């Protein structure tokens, strides 16, 4: 059993060996010792359990996830959603479907459920987890980040007609690494300008269509070639011999460099159940949003969710989804607005 803990004050700030912080690196990880908590990095730092609010931390030190992300462009950050929060989030998601999408497809594809922050405080808490925030900011080399679209709940429905088929298309890199966004499609080696931060409400497994990806492909720094999208994906064969699936336990987050070649494989959900996730595209806050966020932000602000969050969580949600896009620094590429590149993105598959 994991014995790592995050400790919080009344505003939701993390207790560290130095004081308090809005995000959690290794200095904010504690172990339980009777009626006290002892800092993992400094056993002389002890806090009475009665003086703090404790929540389980991910199973490894934050630095281990960052090291893995930097080396492989991909990591699984576990422990962001507890079992009771998962059950409640799915209950509310199905309620939203019942109210707003009674004609949604029941198999062979994905459906989106909007405005998750307005109906799920659990989603908001998970997306502002202080270890996750530290990881995202550290990899993107900036403390000023935002989400490029509202957090989107998706349900991968069971496969019926697509079972046993190998559909063409689907391989891509994520925003802002779309065709036509960067000048001359020249993707800088460093720093990174985008991460996917996808929360696995359900476990991602081989038999429920866990995302396919080509390991280390983020280092190629270009969009998948056309031939990668032809003839269907047969893992282990031909061009796709090194393709794997992004598997993770329920409640974890798949965090990967947006340049990574990957594909949603609707045809592989043989589990006979829906598989829920919350998708997020994260970038420096000057990178233009990929989709409109104003209406979703308004729904969140008018909902009951903000009152259920700590001051720290509210501040993070505001800057992630509510604040305006910042002015671009002088020393960064001049990105092209997403709507002007949409047709080229569609043509690229």
State the average pLDDT over residues 101-112: 94
Quote the CA–CA distance of 78 and 62 in Å, as a whole number.
11
Quote the CA–CA distance of 81 and 251 in Å, as a whole number.
4
Model pLDDT for residues 318-347, shown as the tens digit of each residue = 999 999 999 999 999 999 877 655 554 444
| 117: exposed, middle or buried (Cβ count in 10 Å: 0-12, 13-18, 19+) | buried
Quote the CA–CA distance of 278 and 303 in Å, as a whole number.
19
For residues 334 and 183, is the Cβ–Cβ distance under 8 A? yes
Of 70, 62, 285, 126, whose CA–CA distance to 193 is shortest? 285
Any idea what the Cα angle at residue 285 is, between residues 310 and 183, rounded to 5°? 160
Model pLDDT for residues 182-233, shown as the tens digit of each residue = 999 999 999 999 999 999 999 999 999 999 999 999 999 999 999 999 999 9
Task: Go through 56-76 and write b for each residue having 16 or more CB atoms within 10 A of its CB, e for each that does not.
Answer: ebbebbbeebbebbeeebbbb
Model pLDDT for residues 235-282, shown as the tens digit of each residue = 999 999 999 999 999 999 999 999 999 999 999 999 999 999 999 999
| 153: exposed, middle or buried (Cβ count in 10 Å: 0-12, 13-18, 19+) | buried
**Per-residue pLDDT at 339:** 64
Query: Within a 13 Å sphere around the CA of 91, how many CA atoms are in the beta-carbon half?
Result: 7
Quote the CA–CA distance of 213 and 72 in Å, as a whole number.
12
Model pLDDT for residues 141-186, shown as the tens digit of each residue = 999 999 999 998 999 999 999 999 999 999 999 999 999 999 999 9
Q: What global pTM score does this model have?
A: 0.95
Q: Which domains does the chain have, with CATH numbers?
A: 4-56 (no CATH), 62-347 (2.60.120.620)
Quote the CA–CA distance of 200 and 175 in Å, as a whole number.
20
Q: What share of the chain is helix, strand, coil (3-state, %, to 5)?
A: 30, 20, 50
């Amino acid at each position: 059993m994991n014995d790592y803990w995050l400790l919080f004050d009344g505003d939701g700030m993390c207790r560290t060996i130095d004081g308090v912080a809005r995000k959690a690196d290794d200095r904010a990880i504690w172990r339980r010792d009777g009626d006290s908590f002892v800092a993992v990095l400094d056993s002389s730092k002890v806090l009475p359990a009665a003086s703090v609010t404790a929540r389980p931390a991910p199973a490894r030190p934050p630095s281990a996830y960052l090291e893995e992300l930097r080396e492989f462009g991909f990591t699984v950050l576990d422990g962001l959603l507890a079992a009771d929060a998962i059950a409640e989030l799915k209950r509310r998601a199905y309620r939203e479907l019942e109210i707003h999408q009674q004609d949604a497809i029941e198999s062979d594809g994905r459906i989106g459920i909007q405005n998750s922050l307005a109906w799920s405080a659990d989603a908001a808490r998970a997306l502002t987890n202080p270890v996750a925030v530290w990881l995202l900011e550290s990899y993107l080399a900036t403390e000023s980040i935002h989400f490029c679209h509202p957090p989107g709940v998706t349900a991968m429905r069971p496969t019926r007609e697509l079972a046993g088929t190998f559909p063409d298309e689907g391989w891509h890199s994520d925003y802002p690494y779309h065709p036509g966004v960067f000048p001359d499609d020249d993707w800088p080696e460093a720093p990174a300008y985008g991460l996917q931060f996808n929360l696995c409400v359900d476990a991602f497994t081989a038999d429920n269509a866990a995302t396919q990806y080509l390991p280390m492909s983020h280092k190629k720094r270009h969009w998948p070639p056309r031939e990668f999208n032809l003839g269907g994906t047969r893992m282990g064969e031909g061009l796709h011999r090194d393709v794997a699936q992004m598997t993770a336990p329920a409640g974890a987050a798949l965090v990967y460099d947006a340049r990574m070649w990957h594909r949603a494989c609707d045809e592989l959900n043989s589990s006979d159940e829906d598989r829920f996730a919350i998708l997020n595209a994260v970038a420096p806050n000057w990178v233009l949003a990929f989709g409109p966020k104003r209406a979703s932000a308004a729904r969140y602000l008018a909902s009951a969710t903000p009152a259920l969050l700590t001051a720290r969580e509210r501040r993070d949600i505001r800057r992630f989804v509510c604040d305006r896009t910042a002015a671009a620094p002088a020393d960064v590429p001049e990105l092209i607005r997403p709507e002007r590149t949409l047709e080229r993105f569609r043509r690229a598959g």
